[in-house]
Chains A and B, each alone.
Chain A
Amino acid sequence: MTWLGAVPTLPGEHGAAHVDALLLAAFDGVATDFVCTHIDRLGPVAVTTLSAHVTGEVDVDRLSAALGGPVVVLDSPDPDSPGSPAARAAKAARDRAEGRCIRFPGQSALTGTHPVAEVVAGSAIDRVVGIGVPVSPTDRVETLGFLRPVCQDGELVLLVEPAVGGVLRPTEAENPHECCGGH
């Protein structure tokens, strides 16, 4: 039962679903129940960091190779790590202070349209918060198979907004409009 932090090398934008998939793939063979991405802004350029709650054994070196960057174990005796971006990520997730959750308990059962009460009862999500609208336990959340709740003030919160058909949809979509630029 360990909290890990990491600074992965990302082949794409923070928040892109395909990047999440690559990050999770790096954890193949490592039992995790909670994985978050974070943005570390303390340097001159913002860096995407990663945190994970590992429930079994983990080979840190192998994981580090798979993620392409340093991995630190929270509360390890290593004196260099406490102030590192990786350690900050691990702490933020442990404390549910901030972070964008890409794996959490109950996620796999929430792939369809579910009442708010079921989302909260059947997963680690503590609260469903509507943007500009009140949310009642019977309101339906159309997950579209993609949930990215966020850590906020010690809670795991799913932000939702009104969508076509009188349902609520998560504010973060899996495939937002690709913004162009002929890079």
Chain B
Amino acid sequence: MSHDHHDHTHEHDHVEVEGSWRDGQDDRPLSVARRRFLSGLGAAGVATTLSTTLGATPAHAHDGRPASPVNPWAGRGRWFAGDHHIHTKYSQDGQYEVAQQVAKAREYGLDWVVITDHGSVAHEKFSISQVTPDIEQARRSHRDVLVYQGLEWNIPGAEHATVFLPPGRSTVDILQAFEAAYDGALLSTPVANGGKGLITRSTSADGEPYALAALRYLEAQVLSGRTEIALMFANHPARRGVDSPHEFRGWRDAAPDVAVGMEGAPGHQAAGIRTADGGNGTGRGGYDASPNQDSFPGYAPTATENPYRTYGGFDWMTAKVGGLWDSLLAEGRPWWVTATSDAHRVHQDTFTPGTGDHGKTGSRGAPIDTGKPQVQSDYWPGFYSSTLVGANSKSYVDVMRGMQSGKVVAVHGRIIDGLNLRVRSLGEGDNRGVTIGGRTFVRRGDDVEVVMEIDLARGANFAGVVARLAKVDLIAGPVTGPVVDRDTFSAPATKVVKSFEVARTARGTVKFTHTFRGVEGAFYLRLRGSDGNKLTSDGHPVMDVIGDADPWSDLWFYANPVFVDVI
């Protein structure tokens, strides 16, 4: 199902019957069966043909082919909360056992987690063989939590990214081969130190072709059947400004089924707590950097904004309406946002790293319990940040398919429990409509109805407070097709269309409706919501203040977009 978003790019004979989504649905099993047949061949030739086709046009191309709904609305679905960015003692700057992280994630309500230790010479050489049995043991100990094995990949030429696969016969082999061949740390480390010495720095521009090759490698593993699915999310994308706009576009185009999104909100959300309140007193999200030599020059601190800071805890690329994220969406390019913990060392936890030499053994060794709360920057997985994923079942592949198809909501501090979004044509076109991450269609001049049902928090968050959603913004902008300048990072026509106030007395589920009347061109829409505590005069999130950013008093959620085609 999650593959649907590019069906229409290679299923040329897929004809939609106007005015009836049911007829459209009847065609779907056929196309699915055909695709399975193709991928089942597993031949390199097929892989090449497919990736060429996909690479040539964005997955949501606007080339006049008939529309078909993606992520069809199916009533109230289930959300599975998770975190795709978690470190252990197998990271040079981490400390916890896999078992500790998974137990905490479960305690804090997560259904799925991804273990993502940093790629490095020592990690590839020593850590993978150690973390694999630990992950397998954690799966046995916590059968109700999906524990994915992943990697925090140093994207050559850019920032870090989560890469992960479902458990399978070749999972570890694929991850290890991927890291050995394509991790920016290994590529930039001199041969004398065990690396490849092929690029200047992990983040320097000469690494960019390796990043594209890496993603094509992962896509080839899927197409050849070695793994059912593989995903990549760019982590803390604006932190050092080294993810250029053209790099996002390049990743997505190189492997549209693998490179699917980015952290809308980075981890390290406790980092900005005031020192007077026992916190670290730095930048929320660990965002306190300035441009370096590999930063994209367009991301510059100015009198109006600082791309190197978080805004309401979210990365500038996501938080800025009409900013980088919107510039991708305005192309009709699917790109999803998430929220993670990036848990290395947890604020007020009593553990400190073990005494192991990570460079020589790939592990920090067992963490040491000092008995004293430590001042740190992170929260446990699930404690503050959640990535809610809509999936058909709580299975490894289904949750990944949900992420791939954009049925994802990024939530901080339990500001909401869930979201049921339905976007549909009120005239001719897709009357059933689609939900988050989806794509629907309407006849030119007809109306599009947006129904938002938001499940308010039914209980306290882990600060012990029932978070109160104060407002929901409906954001929309025209889809204008592929950009000419691949380093475009603004979408000036994307705006907050309407803000809905949530009554103070509201409980349970609140429902808002908005109708786009007489739709003349393709557009997309997305939602975000806030506790209303920190807003600019025009209702946007405020730049987080270094050393004074209490994350619990500035809560937001961001839902992924729905695209509306006009036929």
Interface residues of A (CB under 8 A from B): 13-15, 39, 41, 44-48, 129-132, 148, 159, 161-165, 169, 171-173, 176-183
Check A182/B545 contact, CB under 8 A, given A48-B293, A132-B304, A177-B289: no
Give the complex CA separation of A13 and B342 in angstroms.
Answer: 23
**Contact in complex: B548, A161 (CB < 8 Å):** no
Contacts of B344 in A (CB 8 A): 180
Pairwise interchain contact A161-B546, C-beta atoms closer than 8 A: yes
Partner of A15, one of B200, B276, B288, B292: B292
Q: Are A182 and B546 in contact (CB under 8 A)?
A: no
How many Å from the CB of B156 to the closest CB on chain A? 12
Given contacts A45-B200, A182-B123, contact A163 B91 (CB under 8 A): no
> What separation, in Å, do the CA atoms of A159 and B291 have in the docked complex?
13
With known contacts A46-B205, A164-B548, A172-B290, A179–B239 Cβ distance under 8 A: yes
| Size of interface on B: residues with Cβ below 8 Å to A | 59
- Are the C-beta atoms of B188 and A183 separated by less than 8 Å? yes
A172–B204 alpha-carbon span in the complex (Å): 21
* Residue in B293, B304, B309 whose CB lies within 8 Å of A46: B293
Inter-subunit contact B546/A169 (CB<8 Å): yes
Q: Assess whether B547 is in contact with A163, with CB atoms less than 8 Å apart.
A: yes
B interface residue numbers (CB < 8 A to A): 91-93, 117-123, 154, 160, 185, 188-189, 200-202, 204-206, 236, 239-240, 268, 271, 274-276, 281-283, 286-294, 297, 301-306, 308-309, 344, 358-359, 377, 543, 545-548
Residue of A nearest to B205 (CB): A45
Is A182 a contact of B271 with CB atoms below 8 Å? no
Verify A171–B305 contact, CB threshold 8 A: no
Collect the chain A residues with CB atoms within 8 Å of residue B92's CB: 180-182
In the assembled complex, the Cα of A131 lies from the Cα of B305 at a distance in Å of 6
Question: Chain A: interface secondary structure?
Answer: loop
Partner of A164, one of B239, B290, B546: B546
Q: Across chains A and B, which 3 residue pairs bring their CB atoms closest together, nearest first? A: A182-B92, A182-B120, A164-B548
Chain B neighbourhood of A148, CB < 8 A: 290
Inter-chain contacts of B200 with A (CB < 8 A): 45
16 pairs, A vs B, C-beta closer than 8 Å: A13-B292, A15-B292, A129-B303, A131-B303, A132-B305, A148-B290, A161-B309, A165-B548, A176-B283, A179-B236, A182-B91, A182-B118, A182-B122, A182-B123, A183-B188, A183-B189
Report the Cα distance A44→B91, complex, angstroms. Answer: 31
Q: Are A15 and B291 in contact (CB under 8 A)?
A: yes
Residues in A with CB closer than 8 Å to B189 are 183
**A176 touching B288 in the complex, CB below 8 Å, given contacts A45-B200, A164-B548:** yes
- Cβ-defined partner of B118 (8 Å) among A39, A161, A180: A180
A161 and chain B: residue at smallest CB distance: B306
Give the docked Cα–Cα distance between A56 and B273 (Å).
Answer: 48
Q: A45-B205, A182-B118 are in contact. Are A171 and B306 (CB under 8 A)?
A: yes
Besides A45-B204, A162-B545, A177-B288, 8 new A-B residue pairs in contact (Cβ under 8 A), listed by A number: A14-B293, A44-B206, A45-B200, A45-B206, A131-B301, A177-B377, A180-B91, A182-B91
Is A163 within 8 A of B118, CB to CB? no
Give the residues in chain A near B236, CB-CB below 8 Å. 179
Are A181 and B286 in contact, CB atoms less than 8 angstroms apart? no
| Nearest B-chain residue to A38, judged by Cβ | B293
Which among B287, B294, B304, B358 has the greatest number of chain A C-beta atoms within 10 A? B294
A182 to B202: give the CA distance in the assembly, Å: 12
Query: Distance (Å) between the CB of A179 and the closest chain B CB?
Result: 7
Report whether B545 and A181 are in contact in the complex, using a CB–CB cutoff of 8 Å.
no
**Assembled-state Cα–Cα distance A177/B240 (Å):** 10
Q: Which of B283, B301, B305 has the most chain A CB atoms closer than 10 A to its own CB?
A: B301
List, in ascending order, chain A residues with CB within 8 A of B303's CB: 129-132
- The answer for the CA separation of A131 and B358 in the assembled complex, in Å, is 40
Cβ 8 A contact of A182, one of B201, B297, B358? B358
User: A163: which of B202, B294, B358, B546 is its contact (CB, 8 Å)?
Assistant: B546
Give chain B nearest CB distance to A18 CB in angstroms.
14
Closest Cβ of chain B: how far from A138's Cβ, in Å? Answer: 19
Output the least CB separation between B141 and chain A (Å).
Answer: 26
Q: How far is the CA of A39 from the CA of B294 in the complex (A)?
A: 9
CB distance from A92 to the nearest CB of B (A): 13
B544 to chain A, nearest CB (A): 10
Tell me which of B154, B297, B305 contacts A181 (CB under 8 A).
B154
- Say whether B302 contacts A131, CB under 8 Å: yes
B206 and chain A: residue at smallest CB distance: A45
Closest to A46 in B: B293
Q: Report A139 CB to chain B, min CB distance, Å.
A: 14
Which residues on A sit within 8 Å (CB–CB) of B188? Answer: 183
Contacts of A177 in B (CB 8 A): 268, 271, 282-283, 286-289, 377
The answer to whether A183 and B202 have CB atoms under 8 Å apart is yes
- Max count, chain B CB within 10 A of own CB: residue among A13, A176, A183: A183
Min CB distance A51 to B, Å, is: 15
Report chain A residues within 8 Å CB of B185: 181-183
Known: A177-B286, A181-B118, A182-B122. A164 touches B240 (CB 8 A): no
CA distance A44 to B201 in the complex (A): 12
**Within the assembled complex, what's the spacing in Å between the Cα atoms of A113 and B282?**
18
| CB closest chain-B residue, reference A48 | B293
For residue B548, which residues in chain A have a CB less than 8 angstroms away from its CB?
Answer: 163-165
Complex alpha-carbon distance, A177 and B358, angstroms: 20
CB–CB B543/A15 < 8 A: no
Most chain B CB within 10 A, of A15, A165, A182, is at A182
C-alpha gap A6/B176 in the complex (Å)? 41
Max count, chain B CB within 10 A of own CB: residue among A13, A47, A48: A13
Query: Given A164-B548, A171-B306 in contact, is the A181-B292 Cβ separation under 8 Å?
Result: no
A46–B204 touching, CB < 8 Å: yes
Contacts A15-B291, A46-B205, A169-B546 given; indicate if A179 touches B240 (C-beta within 8 A): yes
